[in-house]
Amino acid sequence: MAREDHSGINQIGDIVFTAAGAGLCYGSCYMPRGAWVHIDTGRNVWYNVVDADFVSGPLNNVTHDGNGKLTVIYAGKYKLDVALTFEVNMANQRFEVGFEISGSGFADAHGRTYSRTMFADKECSIGTTAILDLAAGATIELAVRDMDIGAASIKVDSVVMNCVQVGF
């Protein structure tokens, strides 16, 4: 049903939040000055960034475990975003990031993106986004991997990760 607001514009399907904590499901966590390091043990192996330096951001029907894992309470379609800074101790390495869902062991194909290091030990930044259909109780973790041969040392310096429910 359409309603007319004070400007004379007809609107359909407004969402109105009336109380604190009401509204869409959302959650975030961040690691402002972390030092998560992993020595790559094989080409194309995914690693979750798990660190006690993660801090909870705003949460509504999403929980954070204190180490970078978000858990959604309700099933639905969620928009996921992550931005991070990282270093790799080898030049010209392809570094890929994505979202691991519910301990799958790899990043979901939607939202995977990669960057190439130009220099060894030089801080780089990367980010990605995806809309994923998540089950109730699904977990979201940042997953990273070195796509090239060699025992590269991957260091993640900072992370910001968000999820917002955008549909059912």
Task: Give pLDDT tens digits along the chain (168 positions).
Answer: 444 455 555 555 556 665 566 678 999 999 998 778 887 766 778 999 999 999 999 999 999 999 999 999 999 999 999 999 998 888 888 889 999 999 999 999 999 999 988 999 999 999 999 999 999 999 999 999 888 877 788 889 999 999 999 998
Q: In angstroms, rounded to a whole number, what is the distance separating the alpha carbons of residues 108 and 105?
A: 9
| pTM for the predicted model, two decimal places | 0.86
- HSE at residue 146, side-chain half, CA atoms within 13 A, is 25
Instruction: Kindly list the structural domains of the chain, giving each domain's residue range(s) and its CATH number in brackets, ordered by start.
Output: 24-167 (2.60.120.40)
The answer to whether 152 and 61 are in contact (CB under 8 A) is no
pLDDT score for 66:
96
Residues 27, 163: Cα–Cα separation, whole Å:
5
Cα dist. 75→65, 128, 133 in Å? 19, 22, 8
- Three-state SS string over 73-129 comes to CCCEEEEEEEEEEEEECCCCCEEEEEEEECCCCCECCCCCEEEECCCCCCCEEEEEE
